Structure formats: C-alpha cells, structure tokens
Amino acid sequence: MMIRVFKVEGTSMFPTLNQGDFVIASLWFRRLMPNQLVIVKHPIYGTLVKRIQSVQPNDGFTLCGDNPESVSSEKMGLVKRQQIIGKVIYSVQQTKQATGVR
C-alpha cells in the first residue's frame, strides 16, 4: 500500500493539527522540502508527525512541531531520510479511532 492513515496524538502540531485528527501520508516520495509535514520513526520519541524545518546537505533533516511546547529540533537531533516513513498529503479533522502518532 502506498498510503497510510495515522491518528494524531498530543498537541505538538497544534494549531495545524489537533489531537484526534487524522493525516494521510504517502509512503512513496522523492523530494522533501522545508515546511512539508512528514511522519518520522524516531528512536527515542517513537512515531511522530513533524514539519521539516531544514534540509541538510548530508541527506539529514531538522524537524519541528508547530506548537512551542513541542520537543525542540535540538532535542530530536538530525533526522536521517531513512527515518522518514511518509509525507503528509492530507489531513482530516478528528473523529474517533486509529493508530497514533504524536
């Protein structure tokens, strides 16, 4: 399957995404650019939805949340392309169930 649905858990992407919203992510993507939303598999924080803050020359990315209370890009560290498992292509306002990302 080339797309996957994730449920947003937490407030790190507020006001763009609310807890309980759903995002549809393409698992097939070529180019990632600043300001795009991605799903990342982080070794410490788990599966997250974050915004690309910057693209580094060594195929790394700095990511951030939209909420000032979100984990900082410094704490998250540089994220490698292999850790990005999807690019968000659509969001749906909250309903009631699914597997979660923070």
Q: List the chain domain ranges.
A: 3-101
pLDDT in tens, 22-81: 999 999 998 999 999 999 999 999 999 999 999 998 889 999 999 999 999 999 999 999
pLDDT category at 94 given cuts 50, 70, 90 is: confident
Closest by alpha carbon to 70, among 6, 18, 23, 10?
10
Fold of 3-101: Umud Fragment, subunit A (2.10.109)
Question: Distance from first CA to last CA of the chain, Å, rounded?
Answer: 22
User: In the prediction, which pLDDT does 5 show?
Assistant: 95
Task: Say if pTM beats, i.e. exceeds, 0.85.
Answer: yes
Cα–Cα dist 99/54, whole Å: 28
